[in-house]
Chains A and B, each alone.
Chain A
């Protein structure tokens, strides 16, 4: 176990694993996303109150889920970096932050389109929507912070602290719809079950799985690029190319 962990945080070993597994993982993720989304858009039944527009759920929920999960993993990485100074942790953070930003934006955008038709407005400043916008701003702040220092070590240190502090936003996003009155509805899928009909739920779960696979694949690829940037003068890189 410890050996496996040590291998995964070693740059050459990780690079090799990612190089081999990326094409399979990428193709798999695209097929799973297509399966989930096409099934949801063309074959699942129409919702009784919302009508056809509910189908945006097949993009909105996976995007929002991935957007938050990326930040959770980044918090873990930030603690790992702050305590053990494992460089792979900072490679992970810098590689995932843009993905997090893109999916947060996608969640906000699809939510706005759905809201315009369902609620009658694109945007309101309720707790759920506002805390998700803050998540997007956090991602953007982290991305810009990565490019604003000269010394690698101080950048990684500063970013880790910001990521950790920003983690405070995650439970707020999660619990906002339960603690306060919001326009956004509370969670449909919980540990105790789902209030979405099974015929609609199955393609949604497939789509969520596909999004997670996609983020894993692209995240690995981005980490490879970041590793090359940092290790360009090392011998193991020269031996590969």
Chain B
């Protein structure tokens, strides 16, 4: 039988590098832009304009129009991607629809004609932005509470439930750190924003990650009961190999769908799907390569102390 569990220091090192990169990106983003991620208008409030010009446009000219319309420090970014030729994104403080109309008219007059059909404007006032942020915090707190309850409930019959719970939470934290780092990196490189959908991805990944871990832990429990005399490490190894087919098959199916969306789907949903994709991948990885090795390490040390 393949003894994967013995190489656990390798897995820990791999995770550490991955998470370290993400944290470095968050710190870099914090220093350059004042926030660990590029926050979307949903949370930060303000207005995001997306215009596609018929002819190539000049960043300075676009900025000028917004400054003249009374917006201080607009952020002007060129959008990249299929079907986004000459497309620009401009972030400003909250603009009322009248101001949007004025700016639009000024843009067409000074910068050049825009494809009216390809325009997108998202406007969120500070009060609404604050509410979204508040309910995001509530959603996260409620989720954390439910997750803890769920873990306590799931492991109530296991010996040392505390250890199982902590390892499951560690794996989940691993996944969340991975996608937070991913968000920081893509925010800096591609201008992807952390918005309400990002939070959705976070909560979904947290849930799926936990389920993945619980499936493996359940099997460990079952096998311990079946072979009480077997070496602990062997039992764990067997359990993982027994559940790995399911994990991989499920992961593959989810990946087929998400890769299809990433390759062929609508542009505005891609960041969300990419975060889900990375999160689910990390969730499968962490249940096998973080949660289980951590548990083995802990149990072995406890046994060594006891024995």
Do A and B associate with each other? no
